[in-house]
Structure 1
Amino acid sequence: MARSLQFRNTVLVYLIVEGSQLFPDNWLYINEPSVRLGRVTNFANWSPEMLSNQHQTPLCCEYWCNFDEPMWQLPEVDLLSLAEEELRKIGLLCNEKIAAGFVVRLPRTYPIYAGDYKHILAEIQSYIKQFENLQVVGRYGAFKYNNQDHSLLMGILAAENVLNPGKHDLWGVNSDSEYLEEAKAER
């Protein structure tokens, strides 16, 4: 039953760009139909402590795909070339040179909400409840489209549940339409 739940994969293409102040955002979702690039992160805009120098900018280009799609099997050299080409096409890179790059493939990163997944998930939740010392957190464990903040909050609340069993319903984290940037854990 759990095997019927499906995930999409992420291919991360990191490029070290010769240049600084490429664009002011931390990350951008790309909504341009002529490219496959889904999101680009500019680590230079997160914190200067993340940089090894001030003349290069590390970028991470994200691509999403299934195991059976060509993107998942594309050789690293082709992915590096694709990311550079697409960044130039959408105007995030101009004449800057690429100093280096590498690829990281992350399987099963995004839950796919399709078919009868809610019924299947409800059965899995019911089964898991019989184990008093088992808590599931994050995208993998809870099959939730959590962001990092939600996943961290689930972990903190799970730790509190160790001290006070049943205090928090972890299935309830990120289950409504309201998005919270702040939450307080009790000490």
Structure 2
Amino acid sequence: MLHQWAEDCSIGWLRNYKEKLEEFSICKWKYFSDYVNDAVRVLVLLNAVKDRKSIKATENKIKLFDYYLKFPCTMLSNDFQITQQWNFDEYYAFFHWKPNLVRYRQSLNYLRAKGLIEKISEGNLIIYRITDLGIVALDSINSPYKNRLIELANYFIPKVQRLSDKKIEEIILEKSKTCIKNGGVNYENPNQD
């Protein structure tokens, strides 16, 4: 879907992308293309970690941190009250927690091709960083979805930034086992009238 909107010029792509996101918000569409969602989440994550020197935004780290943005009700349900009832899509998708590596690479490559992120070799690691154009693109998107992602990233990154990738994977597996044991994740807010 993204490639249909893109023009050859990165700024043209940005303009079209912004217009399409605003159309989605105005029409109150619930779902974007998976690739659009992935691209926005990656930009939000890279923007949120750009000034945190202790975080090396490797492909694996992006995928693990993205799990908190994709499944916030499940991953952060112990930290705050969720106002949704049952979120079947999240509950179902949670059991397929191994991310689609091909789709992540496609999103990363697409964002690199548009100049929104860069891939840098740092020692024996390959890390990703948001570019100035990526920051401009992200800032120009006026969408409740993007705003919610930014809030979530600012909330969870300080809590997990010192955890190893292995520890984050263990947390994901633990949440998955808890979901299975309890028959799902209940997002009912007991304080809701």
From the two aligned structures, give the one with the greater helix fraction.
Answer: 2
Question: Normalised by the shorter chain, which TM-score bucket?
Answer: under 0.3
Q: Which has the higher contact order (CA 8 A, sep 6+)?
A: 2
TM-score by length of structure 1 reads 0.25
Q: Which has the larger radius of gyration?
A: 1
From the two aligned structures, give the one with the greater strand fraction.
Answer: 1
TM-score by length of structure 2 reads 0.25
